[in-house]
Structure 1
Amino acid sequence: MIISKTPLRISFVGGGTDIPWFYKKYPGAVVSTAIDKFVYITVNKKFDQKVRVSYSKTEIVDKVEQIKHELVREALKLTKIGGGIEITSISDIPSEGTGLGSSSSYTVGLLNALYAFKGKHVGVQRLASEASRIEIDILGKPVGKQDQYIAAQGGLQHIKFNRNGSVFIDPIILPQKLMYKLQSNLLMLYTGLTRSSSSVLKKQKSAVIKSPKKLMVMQKMADMATDTKHALEKGKLNDFGELLHQNWLLKRQLANGISNSKVDKWYLIARRLGAIGGKICGAGGGGFLLLFAPGSRHAGIISALKDLKKVDFNFEAQGSQAFYV
C-alpha cells in the first residue's frame, strides 16, 4: 500500500495573480505557506482489474474512462494506470469550499501516490506542473497555479508566475524565533460558510477583463507579494500585517462574492479588537478567516467572534510525501 501526505496551504498576498489569463499578460506573484493540515491518499493493488475509488461516494468501474471523479480519472490517464487499483482519501479539513487549496493538494497527493505505486519517484516541479495541467488545461477549471506548487514544495514561499508559463519558487527563510512569532500572531477561524471557488474566480475574471482599473489592482497585488517577502525577511511583522490588510482591501474591489456582509462585519470587529490585517483564505466568500494580531489580542477576538471556530495550525516545511506501508 502507498500513502501520500500532502499539506494544505494559506495564501497571504497576491492570490488570483497566479491565474493564466492574468500572468500571461502581467507576471503574477504570491506569498504562501504550507500548513500542518493534510490530505491523505491511499493507493493499493486490487485483486481484479477493476478500479475502486472511495471519497464521499464509492465508485467501482471496469474502465478508467467510466470514473466520475474527474481528478482521479485524469490522474490515472496521465500516469497510464488502466486498472487493478483502489484509491481512498481523507482530509484533516473539510475539502469543499474552505479556501485552503484542498483540490490541488488532493491532485498533487494523488499523482505522488500513483507514481509511487508504479515504483517511480517524481520531483516537485513535475508533480506541480502535472497537477496544474490536469486542473487547468484538461479540466478547464478557472484556478491558478500557486496551490499545486505549494502543496508539492511545502514551506513558506514567494512564488512567481511568468508570462511564458514558468514558475519560480523562492523560499522565504526566517530565523526560528521570527518564524515562531509570525505563527503565534496568526489566528485562523472557520466561518462555516462554504462556496465554489470556481464561481468566485469566474466572476472575478469577468469583472477584471472589463476594467483597466481592476487590472491595475491585480498588478498592485502581485507587486505587494515582493513587498511582503521583504517585510518578513527584515523581521517587520507589523508591516506584514498591514500588507495583509491592504491586499484584502484591494482584493475586495475585484468582484462581488469575494466578501459579504458577514465577513465584513467579522473583519471589522477583529480590527477594532487589535487585528492589524487579515483576509478570507482562497478565492473569497467563505471558508476560513485569517487574522494577524498580537497574541495578547487573540482571546478578545475569539470571544467577540464566538460563532466562528478557532483552528490551530503550524507552518509545514515539507511538501507532498509518499510512504510505502
Structure 2
Amino acid sequence: MIGTRTPFRVSFIGGGSDLKEFYSRAPGCVLSTSIDKYMYIFVHPFFDEKIQVKYSKTELVENIEDIKHPIVREILSEFNLQGVDINSIADIPAGTGLGSSSSYTVGLLHALYAYRGEIVSPNTLAEKACYIEIDVLNEPIGKQDQFAAAYGGLNIIRFLEDGSVKIEPIKMEEDAYKQLQKCLMMFYTGTSRSASEVLIDQKKNIISDKDKFNAQLMMTQMVEESKDCLVKSNLDEFGEKLDSNWILKRTLSKTISNSIFDDIYNLAKESGAIGGKILGAGGGGFFLFYCPPRYQDKLRFNLKDLKEVPFKFDKYGSKIINMDK
C-alpha cells in the first residue's frame, strides 16, 4: 500500500494573480504557507481488475471512464491504471478555502507515481496537477494551490507571463516565525462554497474592468511589501498588510464577501485583530485573522459562534508516508 500526506495551504496576499487572465498581462505573485492540515491518499491493489474509489462516496467500477470523481478519472486515464483501490481522508472539509482540491490532485499523483515505482520532483507534481485541473478538467482556477501543496513551506509563488512558476522561500528569524504562528487564528464560518463560481466572476472582471485589474496589481505589489515585513520581523505591520489586502480583494467580485462576513470581519477588528481575510476565493469557508496574543481571548469570545481551528505551519509539502508494495 502506498500512502501520501499532502498539506492544505493558507494564502495570505496576492490571490487571484495566479489566474492566466492576470499573469498573461502582468507577473503575478502570492504569499502563502502550507499548514498542518492534510489530505491523505492511500492506494492499494484491488483483488481483481475493478477500480474502487472511496471519498465522501464509494465507487466500484469496471472501467476508468465510468468513474464519477473527475480528478480520479482523469489521473487514472493518464496512468492507464486498472485494479486499484483508492482511499482519501481529509482533516478539513472541501470547499472551505484551503486548497483541498489541489491537495487531493497532488497527493493522488504522488501516490500513483510511487505505486509505479517512480520518484518525482515537487515541480513535476505541481505542473501535472495544473495540467489535470486546468487544461483537462477546465476548472477556472489558478496555479497557486498545486505548487503550495507540492512544495510546502512559507513562500512567494511567482507566476510569469510565459506560464512558468517560480518558488521563492521566505527566510524569517526563528523567533519571529514562531511568533507569527501564535498571532494567526482561523475560524470556520460554517459555510462552504464552490471556488469556481467566485473565480469565474473574478476572471471576467479582471478582463473587462480596468479598476479591478489595477486592484489585483496593487495586491501583487503588497506581496513584496509583506515579504519585507516578515524578513524584518515587523509582524504587526504584516497584519496591517493583510487588512489592506482584504479591502482590495473584496472589490474584485461581489461574490467574495457579503454583509454577514463583513460584520464578522468588523467585529474581529473591534476585538483586537489587526487584519485578516476570507481564505481561498471567498464566499465562505474560513476566516484568517492576525491578532496579537493579548487580544485573542476577547476575539474568541466575540466569535464564539464560529469554530476556531488551531493550526501550525508545514514545511515539507507532499510526502510519501507509507510504501509497502
When normalised by structure 2's length, the TM-score is 0.98
Query: 1:268-324 CA distances to partner (integer Å, 9 max, x unpaired)?
Result: 011111111000000001100000010111110110111101101000001001121
2:309 alignment partner in structure 1: 311
Please say if 1:76 is aligned against 2:76: yes
Aligned AA for 1:213? D
Q: 1:298 aligns with which of 289, 296, 299?
A: 296
Q: Distance in 1 between matches of 2:131 and 2:225?
A: 29
SS of equivalent residue, structure 1 residue 258: coil
Q: Distance in 2 between matches of 1:74 and 1:222?
A: 33
1:4 alignment partner in structure 2: 4
Q: Distance in 2 between matches of 1:292 and 1:141?
A: 31
Contact 2:173 2:233 in 1 (8 A): no
Q: Distance in 2 between matches of 1:108 and 1:230?
A: 30
Aligned AA for 2:184? L
Q: 2:128 aligns with which of 130, 133, 139?
A: 130
1:45 alignment partner in structure 2: 45
2:67 alignment partner in structure 1: 67
SS of equivalent residue, structure 1 residue 39: strand
| Gap regions ≥5 residues in structure 1 | none
SS of equivalent residue, structure 2 residue 313: coil
1:102 alignment partner in structure 2: 100
1:36 alignment partner in structure 2: 36
| Gap regions ≥5 residues in structure 2 | none
Shift of 1:80: 3.0
Shift of 1:190: 0.6
Q: Distance in 2 between matches of 1:155 and 1:207?
A: 31
Contact 2:187 2:307 in 1 (8 A): yes
Contact 2:171 2:231 in 1 (8 A): yes
Aligned AA for 2:132? I
Identity of aligned residues (%): 50
Contact 2:157 2:165 in 1 (8 A): yes
Q: Distance in 1 between matches of 2:22 and 2:78?
A: 27
2:242 alignment partner in structure 1: 244
Shift of 1:26: 1.0
SS of equivalent residue, structure 2 residue 10: strand
Shift of 1:237: 0.7
Q: Distance in 2 between matches of 1:159 and 1:236?
A: 21
Query: 1:33-68 CA distances to partner (integer Å, 9 max, x unpaired)?
Result: 000000000000112111111111111111111111
Please say if 1:90 is aligned against 2:112: no
Shift of 1:175: 2.0
Q: Distance in 1 between matches of 2:80 and 2:230?
A: 43
4+ residue runs over 4 A deviation: none
Query: 1:204-262 CA distances to partner (integer Å, 9 max, x unpaired)?
Result: 11223221111101111111111111110011111111111101000001111100111
For the aligned residue pairs, the C-alpha RMSD in angstroms reads 0.8
Query: 1:86-142 CA distances to partner (integer Å, 9 max, x unpaired)?
Result: 1010100112x1000000000000000000110111100000000011111110101
Q: 1:280 aligns with which of 266, 278, 281?
A: 278
Q: Distance in 1 between matches of 2:220 and 2:180?
A: 22
Contact 2:21 2:207 in 1 (8 A): no
Aligned AA for 1:135? E
1:27 alignment partner in structure 2: 27
Q: Distance in 2 between matches of 1:79 and 1:223?
A: 40
Please say if 1:17 is aligned against 2:17: yes
When normalised by structure 1's length, the TM-score is 0.98
Q: Distance in 1 between matches of 2:255 and 2:21?
A: 20
Aligned AA for 2:86? I
Please say if 1:120 is aligned against 2:118: yes
Q: Distance in 1 between matches of 2:78 and 2:317?
A: 21
Q: Distance in 2 between matches of 1:193 and 1:282?
A: 13
Q: Distance in 2 between matches of 1:35 and 1:168?
A: 20
Q: Distance in 2 between matches of 1:44 and 1:166?
A: 34
* Matched ranges for 1:64-213 at <5 A: 64-81=64-81, 83-95=82-94, 97-213=95-211
